[in-house]
């Protein structure tokens, strides 16, 4: 799978020079080019000068916030895979960042296996954006272009919230989805109660079948068992 990255280019925004040098050396094993920026202004220059396929960005920079940079990128590009790096885990940030469409959240020091998994997720994201249809599970497809569900040549139109939910599923086909993730992705800025989300899932099951999504008691939901 990682062979698909050999002609790709990464923008790496990181102000720790030593960490950036070591990580860049590792990334160059998998991709064609890594452009390193220490400041947001340098990152903007690189973005405007080169075709970038993946962005890796530290949250905290010297006197700057990496999230501000990502928000600006997302104004014009909603598809490019973005990996976030942080020195500590922040669950609240993770939920707030879901609308930014982050591909992965990496903790320093980055473990080799974790980086590989994140790069594989980038490949999946790039492939998904290049496809018009994403297979969610057996027989079910999400039509990215028309924002509808397909099964056995039958098209199911989706309202806005349903489309946002299905997009969340398409990005997490083999992963657990929490109610907090659903709230952030579907309602975005409005905080929803657990019961409202439960009712939303019930409506999804009424439309697409009780086995369309599975409940993991006291934890969340999975598209697949």
Q: Taking the model in full, what pTM does it have?
A: 0.61
Question: 74: Cβ–Cβ under 8 A, 6 or more apart, which residues?
Answer: 100, 101
Q: pLDDT at position 95, please?
A: 63
Instruction: Tell me: cis bond preceding 117? Omega within 30 of 0 counts.
Output: no
Q: Quick one: DSSP state of residue 186?
A: I
Averaged pLDDT of the chain: 88
Using CB atoms within 10 Å of the CB of residue 144, give its burial: 0 to 12 exposed, 13 to 18 middle, 19+ buried.
middle
Domains of the chain: residue spans and CATH: 2-130 (3.40.50.2300), 133-222 (1.10.10.10)
Kindly state the percentage of the chain with pLDDT values over 70: 94
Q: pLDDT at position 92, please?
A: 64
On the question of pLDDT at 36 being above 80, the answer is: yes
pLDDT in tens, 176-199: 888 888 888 888 767 778 889 999
pLDDT band of residue 200 (cuts 50, 70, 90) is: very high
pLDDT in tens, 83-117: 999 877 766 666 666 678 889 889 889 999 999 99
Using CB atoms within 10 Å of the CB of residue 39, give its burial: 0 to 12 exposed, 13 to 18 middle, 19+ buried.
middle
| Bridge-based pairing state of the strands 104-107 and 82-86 | parallel
Q: pLDDT at position 184, please?
A: 83
pLDDT in tens, 110-153: 999 999 999 999 998 888 776 677 889 888 999 887 889 999 87
Kindly state the percentage of the chain with pLDDT values over 90: 48
């Amino acid at each position: 799978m990682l062979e698909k990255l050999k002609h790709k280019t990464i923008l790496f925004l990181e102000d720790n020079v030593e960490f950036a040098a070591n990580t860049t050396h590792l990334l160059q094993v998998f991709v064609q080019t890594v452009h390193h920026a220490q400041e947001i202004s340098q990152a903007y220059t690189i973005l405007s000068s080169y075709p970038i396929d993946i962005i890796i960005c530290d949250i905290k920079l010297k006197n700057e916030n990496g999230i501000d940079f990502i928000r600006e990128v997302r104004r014009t590009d909603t598809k490019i895979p973005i990996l976030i790096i942080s020195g500590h885990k922040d669950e609240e940030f993770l939920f707030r960042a879901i609308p930014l469409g982050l591909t992965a959240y990496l903790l320093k020091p980055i473990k080799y296996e974790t980086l590989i998994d994140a790069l594989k997720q980038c490949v999946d994201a790039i492939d998904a954006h290049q496809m018009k249809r994403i297979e969610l599970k057996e027989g079910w497809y999400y039509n990215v272009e028309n924002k509808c569900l397909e099964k056995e040549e039958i098209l199911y139109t989706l309202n806005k919230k349903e489309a946002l939910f299905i997009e969340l599923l398409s990005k997490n086909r083999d992963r657990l989805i929490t109610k907090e993730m659903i709230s952030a992705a579907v309602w975005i800025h409005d905080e929803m109660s657990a019961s409202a989300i439960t009712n939303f899932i019930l409506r999804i099951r009424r439309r697409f079948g009780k086995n369309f999504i599975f409940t993991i008691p006291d934890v969340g939901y999975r598209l697949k068992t």
